[in-house]
Structure 1
């Protein structure tokens, strides 16, 4: 959305994020058109993630990746949203925007994993800075995605391939992840 945003952010305005994604959708689709699986990660409650994520998810749902090794069989892109909700201190307005964005995203992803940033305070302490708290959120997003991909690529007790993951996650709706040490 370089024309709309002039290279800047969306200014916490989801309509600007949406417009920017729509403006750039051909370029975005060029990058994902041959994908079998797409993870859409976003921080919900602002402009870019809240506005752009549903646009990208919708385009991915409508796209068809041609699987060449099985003839001209068409197959949809398995789309997984892994997003964060705002911290409580970010305010009611930001949380409302996040909820509206989640409703829009839920319509187009096969599986939606929502990580409430507020829950990260359970693993933080009094010395955790705001920057550290946001980094914790990024780390949890990474762990969630890594958990799914590791099931397919890491040998272990449970060996799954993409078809197994697709069966479980296609049209799944909301999902949860858990971690432990």
Structure 2
């Protein structure tokens, strides 16, 4: 079965893009053909919503003439409160809600904490994946983004922060702006897809939604990584790639309170390789951490081993 074409049945996953950056991420995920999630776009700007490919678009705020917040988070907070009922109805039935936004501007910074509160009210686990602005965008945007992070932490189950400055160090001088942002978009997509596959795919060692709830319930900052490798050292190399993501800021798996580890490979994967991966992860976390392991045999992977790590409850 093609991993990208699997239907993630059972658990209801909703992805909410908030503001300009969030809407861009949702469009990128839809273009990549991510299955099994429902997509919502939320903005204070109707013109921006017209460019969204999400099935559900929500213009927040009651002012029909509004074209945005002018960089004022308070206006976005008010807009969410004015559209509270419509948002709640759209989030009903979700088991997990992913919030994707860029912090530092008005809508992303102001609306995302409000949406997190509504998603929790709807009974969902809430994972926020947000970006921080480039440092050269100015002190005010950086300070607003930091305030947004502090506002989100107590409201969400897990928070993943992607600093745009890391994109500069990863990209070459001739990299186009669109290409430079692709790793960040991919990380958001992989986070949603990886978690959806872990929940819904029937493996030899199954991970179900209650396991996800246990790990995400640790609260705090999170690390989500997917590593794939082939060759003689594929097991340890896949782990290394999964837990050392240059895009993630201020997170160290050593401090995690909960870890969800999913290992996928073809029937060529050996018991020793499985043991190497488990050992490599458990040696890096506290003895008190809750570690849940899933294992899937997927012949599509061929010579590759894929390791997915979700580490949560990380204090910064």
Contact 2:167 2:181 in 1 (8 A): no
Q: CA RMSD in A?
A: 2.0
Secondary structure of 1:177's counterpart equals: strand
Alignment match, 2:8: none
Tell me what 1:84 maps to. 131
**1:59-104 CA-partner distances (Å, limit 9, x unpaired):** 22233xxxxxxxxxxxx31111111111222222111100001111
Output the CA distance in 2 between the equivalents of 1:53 and 1:157: 38
Q: What runs of 5+ residues in structure 2 fail to find an aligned partner?
A: 1-59, 229-316
Would the alpha carbon gap of residues 168 and 126 (structure 1) be closer, same or farther in structure 2, given more than 3 Å must change?
same
Further displaced range: 127-136 or 84-93: 127-136
Paired residue for 1:37, among 90, 96, 114? 96
> Secondary structure, in 3 states, of the residue corresponding to 2:159?
strand
The aligned counterpart of 1:55 is 114
Aligned residue among 203, 207, 213 for 1:166: 213
| 1:1-181 map, 5 Å | 1-4=60-63, 6-63=65-122, 76-156=123-203, 159-180=206-227
Q: Which residue of 2 aligns with 1:72?
A: none
| Greater relative contact order (Cα < 8 A, sep 6+) | 1
Give the Å deviation of 1:159. Answer: 3.0
Which of these two proteins has the greater Rg computed from alpha carbons?
Answer: 2
Normalised TM-score (structure 1): 0.83
CA contact (8 A) 2:199 2:209 kept: yes
Bigger share in helix: 1
5+ unaligned residues in a row in structure 1: which ranges?
64-75
Relative to structure 1, is the Cα distance of residues 118 and 17 closer, same or farther in structure 2, using a 3 angstrom cutoff? same
Give the length in aligned residue pairs. 169
SS at match of 2:128: strand
Supply the distance in 1 between the matched residues of 2:142 and 2:204 (Cα, whole angstroms).
Answer: 40
